[in-house]
Amino acid sequence: MCSTDIHERRPVLEHVEVMANDRLAQGVGLLVMRAPRIAASVEPGQFVHLRISMGTDSILRRPFSVHRVVGDTIEVLYQVLGRGTRDLAGKRRGDAMDAIGPLGHGWKVEPGVAHALLVAGGLGAAPLGMLAEDLAGRGVAVSVALGAPTAERLVARALFERVARRVELATDDGSAGEAGFVTSVSARLLERDLPDIVCVCGPEIMARRVAEQAADAGVRCLVSLERLMACGVGACLSCVVTTKSGRLRACVDGPVFDAEEVVWDGSEVPPRH
């Protein structure tokens, strides 16, 4: 399924209805939306571009990975950062929005892969949820290295523990798993499990470190990158990632890139505060 050419599954503009919106942790929520057309065609690692408010003062959509698909609903795991995500946190069952999706190229994990290591920092767990379920369903052995500031913020832990063979944790404050960065966990798992592929998403500095670990270990690494996005469909060139083949658009050429291709030039989204 992951090797399906994206061009066969074109994005649509779909009216979506909020089915549930639950707070999972301080500043983190899970939004469930009825979106039959997107749910039917989205692949792991793809995202939706949400129009959160209809006013003119906030004129851009906001991109969110599809975390899971359940029936004709899609789930989005979100962190409250600014006005868009604040408005999102205020949505209630029955509210309507519109979404463009599915967008982008997701995780391309070839059929031959037997063991995959997923590395998630904070909300980086979002695009890895569907992937973990998908790989497990295909019989791939999945290990997960999951990091967050606190135990409470390990928001996708239950999903990963359900489908993965092994989930190892790191928290800044040591409230779950080891105290420290998820990159220590990923280094250990890379060495111990000898995965065929590493899939990583999280703050760019962390993703880059994991990519280096994978390169050192000679393991292929895919990384999902975030950029500020205007159109989300490839038209505006606001979201470029510097790669060995030039500046590519995260929204259509990514958001998942082969880590080998990425030139880490500090052009990531400015750090959250």
Ligand X SMILES: Cc1cc2nc3c(=O)[nH]c(=O)nc-3n(C[C@H](O)[C@H](O)[C@H](O)COP(=O)(O)OP(=O)(O)OC[C@H]3O[C@@H](n4cnc5c(N)ncnc54)[C@H](O)[C@@H]3O)c2cc1C
Ligand Y SMILES: Cc1cc2nc3c(=O)[nH]c(=O)nc-3n(C[C@H](O)[C@H](O)[C@H](O)COP(=O)(O)O)c2cc1C
Does residue 235 bind ligand Y (CB under 6 A)?
A: no
Contact positions toward ligand FES, by CB under 6 A? 229-232, 234-239, 249, 251
Q: Strands 240-243, 220-224: parallel, antiparallel or unpaired by DSSP?
A: unpaired
Amino acid at 159: L
Question: How far is 163 from 219, CA to CA, in rounded Å?
Answer: 22
Question: How far is 238 from 229, CA to CA, in rounded Å?
Answer: 6
Residue 259's nearest CA partner among 216, 208, 201, 202 is: 208
Q: What is the DSSP letter of 105?
A: B
**Which residue's Cβ has the minimum distance to ligand X?**
82
Smallest separation, CB 232 to ligand Y (Å): 12
Smallest separation, CB 169 to another protein (Å): 29
CB of 34 or CB of 247, closer to ligand FES: 247
Q: What is the DSSP letter of 226?
A: -
**Residue 160 binds: one of ligand FES, ligand X, a second copy, none (C-beta under 5 to 8 A by kind):** none
The secondary element (H helix, E strand) that includes residue 99 is strand 96-103
Does residue 238 bind another protein (CB under 8 A)?
A: yes
Could you tell me if 65 and 87 are in contact, meaning their C-beta atoms sit under 8 angstroms apart?
Answer: no
CB of 119 or CB of 252, closer to ligand FES: 252
Contact positions toward ligand X, by CB under 6 A? 47, 62-65, 76-79, 81-85, 123, 126, 226-229, 255, 269-270, 272
CB of 87 or CB of 152, closer to a second copy: 87
The binding site for ligand Y (CB under 6 A) comprises 236, 238
